[in-house]
Chain A
Amino acid sequence: MRMADTPIQAPTQSLLADRTTGPRRSHGQYIRWVLLMFGGIVMVMPIAYMLATSFKYSFEVHTLSLIPQEPTLENYLFVLEDGRFYTWFGNSLFIATVTTLSNVLFDSLVGYALCKFRFPGRYIFFIAVLSTLMIPTEMLVIPWYLMSSTLGWLDTSWGIMFPGLMTAFGTFLMKQFFETVPDDFLEAARIDGLNELQIWWTVAMPLVKPALAALAIFVFLGNWTAFIWPLIVTTSQDMYTLPVGLTTFSDEVDVEWELIMTGAAISTIPTLIVFVIFQRFIIRGVVMAGLKG
């Protein structure tokens, strides 16, 4: 009887048991764990090698070892002594921060208005904003460049950040979340004598904090790593963002890979640290933004 049952039952059981009854100490489960762990380690290898090499002298770069035999901070001292990375880091931080604040503010303003107000032109406005999702950035870089050159925005911080101050993605995300805010809350605040702007800011915004955080993560990361537009709009090294600066720097030092890895590490470490600290929170935010946005 048991013999007859196993071939049919085994696969389904192992498929189901874990989700409902916790880890099953079966052979399959061990193999699955080992393979997934191995895959995960392979996934972080490029990052690990980048970090390891940034602490190596050039004579060690070719080795496969992840632990430098003679660890050194020389590369970091060299790269930072140059001074430009501080500027690029500061530029990136400033642009990503301002853009994030702007998106959090304006995307939720638009999302709220489209969700909670009834007014003529509401549907058209919504469709118009949504339709910009289909327009790729690359189609707009030429007109943006022309616009910036006419208005004197080339090679300025404003020039780098103006295209990203609001996004349709963020607007749509916020609109979805404001749907979950009950109208009764807003009505109660209205009776208390708050104006609409106060209601939005003091009543509705605190209720969608998780969505605001998710949006902030996406916008910040997107602007921190943005490349093509900063590459086009900046001309002087003082205005470069980290990715553009890294490209220039890597081109200059050519085959000194330990220096390139150090530059790459400097531009990657901040987001890695943020991720390690806020891991669960970030993953939840990504799921939220991904599924609702």
Chain B
Amino acid sequence: MVKFYQDLSISHKQIVWAWVFLAVPLIFYVTIRFYPTANAIILSFQSWNLLGPRTWAGMENYIKLWNDPVFWKVFRNTFVYLLIGTPVSLVISFTIAFHLDKLRFMHGLIRALYFLPFMTSAVAMAWVWRWFYQPVPIGLFNNFLASFGISQIAFLNSTTNALPSILAPAVWAGLGFQIIIFMAGLRAIPQTYYEAARIDGVSGWTILTEITLPLLKPTIVFLVVLSSIGFLRIFDQVYNMTLLDPGGPLNSTKPLVLMIYDTAFNAFDMGYAAAQTVVLFTVLLIVSLVQLRILRDR
């Protein structure tokens, strides 16, 4: 064996070494990533309640999904999370990063304050925010409003307010990361552009829209795609803030991942849940590709 190895040429030795390095990871990626992916897709065409046999069901699960009013509600919710969450968090984080970039005094401390929520766990913070949203004798927000004589707001108990209320901690926790990435992007813009603009006497707004934002495009694309994926997969906050009636009231906050969880691990309708995961995968893929296409071309 040793002799055989020594007789190999350098490039052949490299091939041997490469597969020595990659052997364990290869097994991992095949068994823990690719096989389960294939299994999920196959399962989406089957019917299975975890106890009985797996039987072929053809398109049944997808047809059921198409005709399920809850699914369309959930589908809509998921996109509401995305369509509010992504723009709101990016506008806020860019505004903060843009101004924070120009501060020197206590820059590090202020940056740390904005970043701190990123270090928290979504579950713990979901409970903190849930407490904030409680009605008057307990909840912080309503107590705060009451101290100004403003009437109570039903946050988590209202079908219209619950979704934005759950979205708020998700946006809040992600801001720190986005601010840091935006500031790194701003730093990477060469000073000479700004100096040239100053010599030409261009206004601040024009500098922002004609120099800063276009040059920041790679950063913006990256954050848009990343935060969109995050909001489309929202689960921890929703599950914990609506624990007694997950996704409630009346499914008004239920995102796709929560529906998948319910279908698979409460109703044990594995095939139907698998079909929902395939939909989630497709949605993520399409949204990412569309965003990359649109943002790159501009």
Contact = CB atoms under 8 A, between A and B. Distances in A.
A63 B138 CA distance: 8
Nearest to A41: B113
A253 to B, nearest CB: 11
A136 B203 contact: no
Contact of B191 (A19, A122, A139, A267): A19
B21 A247 contact: no
Contact of A49 (B104, B128, B177, B236): B128
B270 interface: yes
Interface in A179-202: 195-197, 200
Contacts of A279: 108, 112
Interface of B: 11, 14-15, 17-22, 24-26, 28-29, 32-37, 39-40, 43, 96, 99-106, 108-125, 127-129, 131-132, 134, 137-138, 140, 143-144, 147, 169, 172, 175-177, 180-181, 184, 191, 194-195, 197-198, 201-205, 207, 222, 229, 233, 235-236, 239-240, 243, 257, 260-261, 264-265, 270, 273-274, 277-278, 280-281, 284-285, 288
A19 B116 CA distance: 25
A139 B204 contact: no
B144 A64 contact: yes
Contact of B281 (A36, A47, A136, A231): A136
B161 to A, nearest CB: 18
Interface residues of A, number: 104
Interface of A: 8-9, 11-16, 18-20, 22-23, 29, 32-33, 35-37, 39-41, 43-44, 46-47, 49-50, 53, 61-64, 106, 109-110, 112-113, 117-120, 122, 125, 128-129, 132, 134-147, 162-163, 165-166, 195-197, 200, 221, 224-225, 227-228, 231-232, 242-244, 246-247, 250-251, 255, 257, 260-261, 263-265, 267-268, 271-272, 274-275, 279-280, 282-283, 286-287, 290-291
26 contacts: A12-B198, A19-B102, A29-B103, A36-B99, A40-B113, A43-B176, A44-B113, A47-B117, A50-B128, A64-B144, A110-B22, A128-B34, A135-B37, A165-B28, A166-B29, A200-B21, A221-B119, A224-B121, A225-B122, A228-B257, A228-B261, A257-B131, A264-B128, A268-B124, A271-B120, A290-B180
B167 to A, nearest CB: 15
A227 B137 contact: no
Contacts of B114: 39-40, 43
Contacts of A44: 113, 116-117
